[in-house]
Amino acid sequence: MAEESKSYGLAWFLAGLGVGALVGILYAPKSGRETREDIAAGAREGAGYLRDRTREAAENVSTIVDKGKEHVSAFVDKSKEQVGGYVDRGRAQWEEFVERGKNLVADQTSRVSAAVEAGRQAYSSATGAPEPPEPETHEY
């Protein structure tokens, strides 16, 4: 029942629209030709208006995209600077650790060599035997 009343309402609306258009044409202050020319002129104006607005919108979008690119570029540059600083600091720390490690190994090598030499001397003084020849050492 509700659907029938909606369809009747739509039918009456369309009928009223048609009657209104017919009355408007009959009582129009201009001739049909003038009315058509006015409609065409209005359509041309509307098309020009849309063309202008489209151009403005494209320019605005272009400006926004350019600003976005600038912001992203600045952010990337800033990030590179920050990351580069971290990398440089990390590299410096790594080089410092490597140098410390080399110094530690060299120190331990000299201590072990001194201990081996002291052991040889103690052995030869305790046994009266000549000192054995020194083994070949390789530096790394």
In a domain, 135, yes or no: no
In a domain, 132, yes or no: no
Closest by Cα among 91, 13, 112 to 120: 112
129 in Cβ contact with 123 (< 8 Å) = yes
The pLDDT value given to residue 129 = 63
101 in Cβ contact with 90 (< 8 Å) = no
The yes-or-no verdict on residue 133 having pLDDT over 70 is: no
Task: Supply the range of the domain harboring residue 114.
Answer: 32-122
The pLDDT value given to residue 20 = 84
Give 78's pLDDT tier (boundaries 50, 70, 90): confident
In a domain, 131, yes or no: no
The yes-or-no verdict on residue 31 having pLDDT over 80 is: no
Rounded mean pLDDT, 74-81: 81
132 in Cβ contact with 120 (< 8 Å) = yes
Distance, CA of 110 to CA of 140 (rounded, Å): 13
The number of distinct structural domains making up the chain is: 1
User: Nearest 5°: phi and psi at 95?
Assistant: -65, -40
Instruction: Tell me the whole-structure pTM to 2 decimals.
Output: 0.36
